[in-house]
Structure 1
């Protein structure tokens, strides 16, 4: 039997954040042997979880669909996840390549064609099938909020308040007052319950609302900033760019047209 040169690992169902330990031992062992024998391993989306099960991501960079980042970080503590990147090469001689979510598998296919056939053929495939390289990565597509509802009744009440009142001035101070805790105690308890700082939680709520306004309306960027609770439009623009990977104007151009096209009929 000829040696395996390339192994492609597709996505499969796994609950985000949960462990699959013991469920795919035979597959993980086979992947480890194939890699040890010199094969290139290529995963798409949640397929990277099987690379983790095979022990091939320890102290290595990786990517995965943004919704499954915690599946890697929770279960394979040695992995260095790059959630903003749609394609990551890793390991000895870069024989492990991972694509993030959705259509980033197209980037993976083009990369494999370029590496194992030729760059010219990869370019021809891209042109024939009108494929666009996802050079902006996954960040603009990712939801900033994990909306993790906690069993802590005090923090849960504050989360629900924030979802309705994130536009108000000084929302963190208002949440602290609502909790009945001291400022320091509330900050620690909120972070423990949600894995987010209080101010980051408010920013995420506001930016998700801003994304929807940019997709659905023609309100100027300054107006969007004010609508979601920011008085300083320049600060809003810098924060949006840092968290989303695009400026508000760039985001509107890319996603408002998509929303209009999908809402027809």
Structure 2
């Protein structure tokens, strides 16, 4: 059972927005990761020992190998613990002056994420929505980059810039209940790049062309060619995210002889050009890797 909430006092507390929290653990254990949220104090306020028990616990967790991750003003607790001395740090811009008062802390107010300390076990996110950078970094570090990329799309990170289209993804493992169509799905998942995939599917199904199209759409919600395009574009996205292959070579690799057609289709379906998609998500993958 993961330990996600801890307390030093009553076994139930009400936070500033009225939500009641029942802790699952106390400060007697040491988890693998400690996430320190925003501290609800005015920006000009010094902590001055008011979180002594928590600060001592953080020092013990760090000494025993835990990753300490903070969002917004939570970085002040790390500073209070002395763990940020001679370290880079960030926090919400309104708390930067307070953070600078701690000896040896190098404050970077414009950085969304700062990673440092022994073993890179001090991770700090700034203000605003930079908590999402923190979450993605932790997922990438603990569960893998591919999982972090999947979550970035699933939860529409950066969606406001270009809508939801760049993040849409076909669930390839969702097999149709129609056994004939399910068999076709399995085959096309590995052969989407063939020259005439729909004709091959019809032949494999043993159905008439009209019956096949009707049953395929009923089972998947897409026409056979739409389904093929979706698979091809999904594979193209993966290549754009992870490799520096030219766009025309990607088009050919996923089954399109005409790279201009591929570019127009990609823009229409994804909402970004291939180059724009690579800049956005290739950069994200590189950041998570680093």
TM-score by length of 1: 0.49
Structure showing greater Rg: 2
TM-score by length of 2: 0.45
